[in-house]
Amino acid sequence: MARTSLRKKLAALAATGVMALGTGVLAASPAEAAVACPYEYFCAYPQPGFGGDPIMIWRCDDVRYVPWTGTNGSWINNQTPGTRARFIFAGGSSAYTYGAYSSVSSGVNWSTVYHIDPC
């Protein structure tokens, strides 16, 4: 099965209109979002379409608290191939993201996520 590049996935998201925020302000373009989340990083954004000040995680032992509540956001898993980040919910349950390299999501409810474990 062929992999789809991060830039192609971001371009597809932009084509669906998810890059426009409810405030009418545009988030980063697909190319800017790809550059803003360097290779080997997991990046979580407080707004849909990769907008806002992201949490950028590189080290596997760097579990981060998610400060955003009542908001929908997005993420880019630009880590090495096969690496999956884990979202940790209240009560300790968790869910893994898609395997890296180049997986993205433009719609995640950060209200339910307490921590992110990048690997």
The terminus-to-terminus CA distance of the chain in angstroms comes to: 23
pLDDT, residue 59, reads 92
Q: Which of 2-16, 80-94, 98-112 has the highest mean pLDDT?
A: 80-94
3-class DSSP assignment, residue 70:
coil
> In the predicted model, what is the mean pLDDT of the chain?
76
* pLDDT tens-digit map of 16-67: 443 333 333 344 555 566 568 899 999 999 998 888 999 999 999 999 999 9
Which domains are present in the chain?
6-117 (2.60.20)
Task: Please state whether the predicted TM-score (pTM) of the whole model is above 0.85.
Answer: no
Residue 21 tokens, joined: 């925020």
Closest residue by Cα to residue 9 from 46, 27, 34: 34
Q: Which two tokens stand for residue 41?
A: 């990083």
What's the token pair of residue 100?
Answer: 């890296």
